[in-house]
Structure 1
Amino acid sequence: MLIGDVARRSGVSARMLRHYDSLGLVRPTGRTQAGYREYSSEDIRRIFHIESLRSLGLSLREVGRALDDPDFTPSELVDDLIRRTRERIAAETELLTRLHHIGATEPADWEDVLQIVALLQALGSESAWKRQRAALSSVENVAVPVEALVEATLSETDPNVAGALRWALAQSGDAGLALLAEGLGSATAEVRKRAVQSIAEIPNGGATALLQDALTNSDIVVRRYAALALGIRGVADAVPTLIDMIVDDTNDVDAADALSALASDPALADQIATRLVECLADGTTESSTRRRLTQALADVPGLTASRALADLSHDEDRAVALTATYILKLRAHDNGSFRE
């Protein structure tokens, strides 16, 4: 079969066939009486083999080695192709994401594009200082896409940079809430933690609703961060989780502060005191836990808390009794000062 016929039937151009010939990949084994190169059925089969290997991403040099080297081991090359393909996909995905981020800002001119590119590069820098500076300047100078800020926030490991990124996100209002909500469902615990911390710093109703939903999250860390934020916002649903934190000795001081903020509402003060007393009455509660619960009563106003403290001042556990007695003295002093 002549080269033109091979080209038509195989889909490989005559120019490429000549290139294969010059490289020694596939050379026509026959000649016509007129001296034209003629491909045999075996030559054509080799052409299809070459095209099949090229479709996997092999270079022509690698194709030649695969077909002609008897010691060639395909598994190593395939593994290498997998690695190279993953790297290429990652690079293309990063480029696509960056283009989406730039497009989202609707740049007016190339100067805007260059500023955004520089800022995105800084957010991805290996230097924590550059990332922090980019986070702060994202609010002051350039309108960085909220998607980029969320992405950077959920992946940031440096606490100072993370704080700057959360602050920058908070300035964007509720624009990033949907993406942060997705972060709450991440398979990675650290991402879920960063998501709830970021939501906690956004002071609007949408964030509060997300935090309330987070109280039922399967991740206990997410539930605890949500409860701390909701306590400061005066959301009563956080009370059970906050009390559990005191019992479990997990951020118990912060949990007690959040309960104190909730107890400033007279309608909640007695409810909180009652729950704390119920935990104190549990016979299985350890001495150290009872002391923490007693301390939590200190900033809970109202008759229920005062009566509970009076009872606890005679507790069999001397440490609990002393703690309750001390708190009662402070409350009496504060009430006396107020009357004066």
Structure 2
Amino acid sequence: MLIGEVARRSGVSARMLRHYDSLGLVRPTGRSDGGYREYSGEDIQRIFHIESLRSLGLSLREVGRALDDPDFRPAELVGDLIRQTRERIAAETRLLTRLRRIGAAEPTDWQDVLQTVALLQALGSKSAGRRQRAALSSVEEGPAPVEALVEAVLNETDPNVAGALRWALAQAGDDGLALLAEGLASPMAEVRKRAVQSIAEIPDGTATALLQEALTSPDIVVRRYAALELGARGVAEAVPTLVDMIVDGTNDVDAADALSALASRSASADRIAAMLVDRLVRDTVASPARLRLTQALADIPGTTASRALADLSQDEDRAVALTAAYILGMRPGG
């Protein structure tokens, strides 16, 4: 079969067939009387083998080795191809992500594009100082790609940089909340923690709703951060978690402050006092926890807290009794 007919049947151009010949990949086994290349059935079969291997991403040199080297190990080459393909996909994914972020910034000219690229590069810098400056400047220099800020804050380990990123996100309002909500469901505990910390700094009704949902999170750290912020926002649903924090001695001072803020801003002072007293009288509460609960009653107004302090001033635990008596003496009318 002459080269033109082979090209038509195989879909490989005559030019490529000549290239294969020059490389020694497929040499026609015969020549016509006129000196034209003439391909046998085996030659054509080899052409199809070459095209099949090329479809896997093999170079022509690798194709030649695969077909002619008796020691060739296909499994090893396939493993290399898998690794190379994964690296290529990762690189393409990074490029796609960068292009999406540039598009999200809605550039109006190439200067905007270059500015966004510079910001993305700075946010990915190995220098904490450069990342922090990028976070702070992202607000001053125009609309920042919120998706990039969210990814940066969820992966940031430096506390100063993380603080700057949270501030930058807060300036964007609720634009990043959907992505931060995904962070709350991350399998990584640190990412969940950073997500709830970031949400807590966004003064928005949607953020408050997300924090209320976070109170039911299986992650106790997420629940505690949510409760502290909700307490400051006057959301009474945070009370049980805040009381638990006092009992456990985890950020108990902050939890007590949040309870005090809640008690002063709402009609839940007696309810808060009753919950503190309930935990005080449980036999399972250890002495240090009882002392912390007593101290937490100090800034809870109302008769329920005052009566509880009066009873506690006669407590068998001397530290609790003295603390309660002191607090009671400092209260109005004490």
Counterpart contact for 1:123–1:134, Cα < 8 Å: yes
Matched residues in 1 for 2:70 and 2:246: separation?
70
SS at the partner of 2:144?
coil
Separation (CA, whole Å) in 1 of partners of 2:42 and 2:12: 16
Q: Deviations over 1:246-279 (max 9, x none)?
A: 2222222211111111111351111000001001
Alpha-carbon distance between aligned partners in 1 of 2:16 and 2:310, rounded to the nearest angstrom: 95
Supply the distance in 1 between the matched residues of 2:320 and 2:44 (Cα, whole angstroms). Answer: 92
Alignment check: 8 A CA contact 1:224 1:242 kept: yes
Shift, 1:118, TM fit: 0.7
Aligned residue in 2 for 1:290? 290
What residue is the counterpart of 1:114 in the other structure?
114
Report if the CA contact (8 A) 1:115-1:142 is conserved. Answer: no
CA contact (8 A) 1:105 1:144 kept: yes
Name which of structure 1's ranges 30-39 and 233-242 shifts more when overlaid on structure 2: 30-39
| Pairing of 1:1-340 with structure 2 (within 5 A) | 1-265=1-265, 267-331=267-331
The alpha-carbon deviation at position 186 of structure 1 amounts to: 2.0
Deviations 1:166-218 (CA, angstroms, capped at 9, x unpaired) = 00000111111122122222222222211111110001211111111111122
Letter in 2 for 1:178: A
- Unmatched tracts of structure 1, length 5 or more: none
For structure 2, list consecutive stretches of 5 or more residues without a partner in the other structure.
none
Q: State the AA in 1 paired with 2:172.
A: S
RMSD value, Cα: 1.6
Distance 1:204 1:266, change over 3 A: closer
Q: Contact 1:245–1:255 at 8 Å: present in 2 too? A: yes
1:109 maps to a residue whose letter is D
| Contact 1:116 1:142 (C-alpha < 8 Å) held by counterparts | no
Instruction: Work out the number of aligned pairs and report it.
Output: 334
Q: CA deviation at 1:76?
A: 2.2
Given residue 120 of structure 2, which amino acid in structure 1 is its aligned partner? L
Please give the per-residue CA displacement for 1:55-104, whole angstroms capped at 9, x wherever unaligned: 11111111111222222222222222122111111111111111111122
Secondary structure of 2:283 counterpart: coil
**TM-score normalised by length of structure 2:** 0.95
- 4+ residue segments displaced more than 6 Å: none
Give the fraction of aligned pairs with identical amino acids, expressed as a percent: 81
Structure 1 window deviating more from structure 2 (198-207 vs 72-81): it is: 72-81
Distance in 2 of aligned mates of 1:269 and 1:142: 45
Give distance in 2, aligned partners of 1:40 and 1:219.
69
> How many angstroms apart in 2 are the aligned matches of 1:44 and 1:316?
99
Alignment check: 8 A CA contact 1:236 1:262 kept: yes
Distance in 2 (CA, whole Å) between partners of 1:125 and 1:216 is 36
User: AA paired with 2:118?
Assistant: A
Deviates more, 1:305-314 or 1:196-205: 305-314
Distance in 1 separating the partners of 2:216 and 2:31: 79
Distance 1:30 1:152 in 2: 64
Distance 1:2 1:266, change over 3 A: closer
Q: Check conservation: 2:28, 2:40, Cα contact below 8 A.
A: yes
- TM-aligned CA deviation for residue 329 of structure 1: 3.2
The 2-side partners of 1:116 and 1:265 are apart by: 43
Q: Is the 8 A contact 2:234 2:266 kept in 1?
A: no
Deviation at 1:30, TM superposition (A): 2.1
CA–CA distance in structure 1, aligned partners of residues 326 and 64 of structure 2: 87
User: Which of 302-311 and 323-332 deviates more?
Assistant: 323-332
Deviation per CA, 1:109-142: give whole Å up to 9, x if none: 1111111111111111111111110100001113
Give, in whole Å, the separation in 1 of the partners of 2:297 and 2:273: 7
Specify the SS of the correspondent of 2:331: helix
Distance between the aligned counterparts of 1:291 and 1:79, measured in 2? Answer: 63
Cα deviation for residue 2 of structure 1 reads 1.6
Specify the SS of the correspondent of 1:101: helix
Report the Cα distance in structure 2 between the residues aligned to 1:30 and 1:287, rounded to whole angstroms: 99
